[in-house]
Amino acid sequence: MRYKVLWPHLDGPDACQIRPDTDETTFHMAATVDNMVVGVVTLIVEINPRFEEKNQYRLRAMATDPEMRGYGVGAGLVAKAIEELKKLNVKLLWCDARLIATGFYEKQDFKIKGQVYQVPKIGPHKLMYKAL
């Protein structure tokens, strides 16, 4: 899903792994329909110094199959992720949101912090967060 939706400019699915994928505190979630993965999200312990909260997680590599958009797949993944993070006493969830996805995150009650910035080879982003 990362390769198909997020990073098709890379050399294939194996190139889509990120260093924190195997960290003990990282967890991955997937939404499935008929045993097919239709959405994914990775949650990583990463402190962003722009926030005061000490117990933070970063939402990263979230993707929904384009054919499944609009059916609540992404919203369900975010809701389940927040449920799990609250069990860990996490106080803040943040992400680097693609500009085209900011409306989705705003519907999940994320707020914007700062201005638009560019991520090389991917495009414009905004820093977004949600207090838990």
Q: Which domains does the chain have, with CATH numbers?
A: 2-131 (3.40.630.30)
Average per-residue pLDDT for the chain: 90
6 residue type, one letter: L
Q: Residue 111 corresponds to which amino acid? A: K
What is the per-residue pLDDT across 48-100, written as a single tens digit (0 to 9) for each? Answer: 999 999 999 999 999 998 888 888 999 999 999 999 999 999 999 999 999 98
User: Coil, strand or helix: which one is 48?
Assistant: coil
Cβ proximity of 81 and 40 under 8 Å: no
Across the range 117-132, mean pLDDT stands at: 92
pTM of the model: 0.87
What value does the mean pLDDT take over residues 101-111?
Answer: 96
